[in-house]
Structure 1
Amino acid sequence: MARPQCSRCCRPVSHCLCPLIPDLANHTRLLILQHRSEAGHALNTARLAALGLRNAQLWIGEHFDGLEALLEAEAGGAALLFPGEQDAPRGNSAPIKPRLLVVPDGSWRKARKILHLHPCLGKLPRLCLSSGQISRYRLRKAPMAGALSTIEAVTLALNMLEAPARFDDLLRPFEALIEGQIAAMGEETFLRNHGDQP
């Protein structure tokens, strides 16, 4: 028999994260495009990010009807949070200040598939985070150096775009989620499977 589930955070009621989810006002609109395979995942950080921000939407699927029209309506005011060659200006140039930040969510393969299925995303300027970031996501082995969970990437991006405002409180439910998963598996199992990570 399935455990009762919180309708908001989609966690078991006994492990509901809602009391830890902040209510943060962000000026940069956030659109998270979550691959449908991630929606039911126990460690769904995209949902936590969307719930903690007043100006955020979470679209779930693979083909997103209306995405191209939405980006056209933004008339150059959108950017894509994803590594790539079209980085935001660096050095003495002012960083881009998008009105809308689009964030693909899924495994690297699934996120790239979303980009492939929606060529309009490839035309957006890319906002790339500084290299050398270390993820707090201790339950997954990063596929590459600097790989972050969606909620970590969103937090860093908003901290950069909306400084001096800070969005670190977004990470509170994420950290509780990680600690809860470690407690459920037991410290010994965690160290055996994940103890070699930085």
Structure 2
Amino acid sequence: MSRPQCTRCLRPFTHCLCALIPNLDSRTRVLLLQHPSEVNHALNTARLAALGLNNAQLVVGEVFEDLATLLNPPGYQARLLFPADDAQLLQAYAPDDQPLLLVVPDGTWRKARKLLHLNPLLAALPRVSLAEGAVSRYRLRKAPGPGALSTVEAIVQALQVLEAPTSFDPLLRPFEALIEGQIAAMGEDVFQRNHGDGRLG
């Protein structure tokens, strides 16, 4: 039998994160497209990002029928935050810049690529990327290499660049509490044995 859970953060009531989730405004609009396999993942960082940002929307699915509408909110220019050889490095807004609709696929790399494959409008968007060398605080999940970030970390880094000097670090508070809770639940010995080198893989 499953434990009663918070309907907002989807965590068990005993581990509810809502008190740590901020209420942040951003000039950038964030659209999170979440693969269904991520919804019930214990570390659902896309949901945390969507809850903490007033100008964000989380949509779950594989094929998004209303994607054309989602990608064209008035006053924004859509960009896909996803690696590509021709991706533009994110830079701070100039005073007259139109704000971005930052589209962020959420899932494993394989699932995220599948979302792009199934949604040609998504794949056709101009891409943007973060500067290399970012270090993830996500100590529990193997990543394909250095610089691989969780969804909420990638969003925070993107917003910090675009909207400097505004800080979006409060978005990471529930994420860090979630990781600490997971480590506590598995026990220090198990954590050190499986993740003790501090690297993601």
What band does the TM-score fall into relative to the shorter chain?
over 0.9
2:120 aligned partner: 119
- TM-score, normalized by length of structure 2? 0.91
Conserved 8 A contact 2:89-2:129 = no
2:9 aligned partner: 9
Quick one: distance in 2 between partners of 1:75 and 1:22? 25
Conserved 8 A contact 1:79-1:98 = no
Answering whether residue 47 of structure 2 is matched by residue 39 of structure 1, we say no
Conserved 8 A contact 1:141-1:197 = no
Unmatched 5+ residue regions in structure 2? none
Conserved 8 A contact 1:83-1:126 = yes
C-alpha change, 1:97 and 1:122, in structure 2 (3 Å) is farther
2:151 aligned partner: 150
Cα distance, 1:68 vs structure 2? 2.3
1:139 aligned partner: 140
Quick one: distance in 2 between partners of 1:90 and 1:41? 29
> 3-state SS of the aligned residue for 1:40?
coil
2:108 aligned partner: 107
Q: Where do 1:24-63 residues align within 5 Å?
A: 24-63=24-63
Quick one: distance in 2 between partners of 1:51 and 1:89? 26
Cα distance, 1:196 vs structure 2? 2.2
- TM-score, normalized by length of structure 1? 0.92
What is the count of residue pairs matched by the alignment?
Answer: 196
Q: Deviations over 1:52-79 (max 9, x none)?
A: 0001000001111111243356687110
Which 4+ runs in 1 deviate beyond 3 A? 72-76
C-alpha change, 1:124 and 1:134, in structure 2 (3 Å) is same
